[in-house]
Amino acid sequence: MLGQQFVTAAAIAASVLFILSLGGLSNQEKAKRAVWYGIVGMGLAVFSVMLGPNIGNYWLMIPLMIVGAVVGTMVAKRVEMTQMPQLVAALHSFVGLAAVFVGWNAEMERARVLALKAAGESLDGLSAFAATLAYKTPAELTFLQVEVVLGVFIGAVTFTGSVIAFGKLAGKIDGKPKKYPGGHALNAGAAILSLVLAIAYLNGAGFWTLLLIALLAFFIGWHLILGIGGADMPVVVSMLNSYSGWAAAAIGFTLSNDLLIVTGALVGSSGAILSYIMCKAMNRNFVSVILGGFGGTQGPAQEIEGEQVSIDAGGVSSALNDADSVIIVPGYGMAVAQAQNAVSELVRKLRSAGKEVRFGIHPVAGRLPGHMNVLLAEAKVPYDIVLEMDEINDDFASTDVVIIIGSNDIVNPAAQEDPNSPIAGMPVLKVWESKQVFVCKRGQGTGYSGIENPLFFKENTRMFYGDARASIDSLIPLID
């Protein structure tokens, strides 16, 4: 009894800490403390379950926890901020696969208990989970089966979807959308067949139905994310975060773990809300994105006139020295080059020279929501000069110089000018309205989504080719 009381109290405390953590992450100044709330809450959750009633096999559990902690520490130390999006996707896949295994195990235990009871054999020696099943009513066991089906299906979709998202974010899989003949019909057919198998399972068809449901869901997750283009990948990461939360909640119901239910619901609902907000910011239809409906071409793209004109550090620094107002637009290229500290130093020199310097941040800049904000905060850039798209978009027309560092799709005028563009209708930073635009870019290739950018060919745009950090470093000594 004492053990259960401890687990209940710890679950409430951990839930409160998780809620405080989520709430604090909405503010940059409170985010560090909010992360610690989450860390303490997770530590409390792990140890409360470990020390709870009917828990054993510590000889196996503790070594596995140590191995997991060591691996997690090593990965965390090696992962750069540029790799954070794919790391998040990879971690989502673990949650999904865990849900599948828990669901399978729960069904095997349920079938075992029913077989023992039917044969009139002793129920001694059962696992703690199986022992609880022995006292459930037929209605409660049916409800458990529903939980198992949902956990296996959602978990399997999350697993393969996250693996594909990881591959696209890491550049191991082409970021362009790819669908096999049949497209959405294949996904719909697999979902309908999964529903038929779920009904058969609930009517006693056996474990094989869960195996087939998992295989079909693996296909849906794989094909679904494969068909979503790079322009929508930040939404995909958030969406998979939501899926992993609901998978965790399903595990919680199966295991009768209140903390998993609460935590999963928090992650699932917050991920869904974030996905919706991001879709709204990108002028996307939420349902269409999660069904793989965006990311492909809508028709022949408009022809681009002009040519890309390059400029050297001397030309850029001269324009900066003459400017009164400067807006910097960072993107994934800044993260790849680890140029945030060089950018911070450039900003310091420009502000010391009396220039007005601000940052324009698109809601989906980088490959993870908030990616650029974290990098700039790490480089000690003042919070008050880092502005969101809605706050700064009307100011470009009165700005002397815009410096774009590794951004592409979020500054692409085709979103507003070309109805056939894959990103047509997506709100973008209207950098082309400024007097001069300088683009720090490695080469003349397209962005992550593979879409050509007419901005690079405009008369007031100059291409500042090279590694972003080296390019910015070359500007700093030239600022008067």
pLDDT tens digits for range 113-146: 888 888 877 777 677 777 778 778 888 888 899 9
Q: Say which amino acid occupies 434.
A: S
Cβ within 8 Å of residue 392, ≥6 positions away: 327, 358, 360, 429
Give dist(CA 54, CA 111) in Å, integer.
21
Counting as low any pLDDT under 70, the low residues of the chain are: 1-4, 26-29, 52-54, 56, 81-82, 125, 175, 230-232, 281-282, 288-303, 367-368, 443-450
What integer pLDDT is reported at residue 449 of this predicted model? 57
What integer pLDDT is reported at residue 359 of this predicted model? 96
Nearest CA to 228 out of 281, 272, 162, 276 is that of 162
138: DSSP letter: H
What integer pLDDT is reported at residue 278 of this predicted model? 76
What integer pLDDT is reported at residue 473 of this predicted model? 94
What integer pLDDT is reported at residue 296 of this predicted model? 47
What sections of 120-257 are H helices per DSSP?
Answer: 128-133, 138-169, 184-202, 207-226, 233-255
What integer pLDDT is reported at residue 294 of this predicted model? 44
Its pTM stands at 0.78
Task: Supply the residues annotated as catalytic.
Answer: 409
* Long-range contacts, stretch 124-129, CB < 8 angstroms, 24+ apart: 128/53, 128/54, 128/55, 128/56, 129/255
Q: Say which amino acid occupies 4.
A: Q
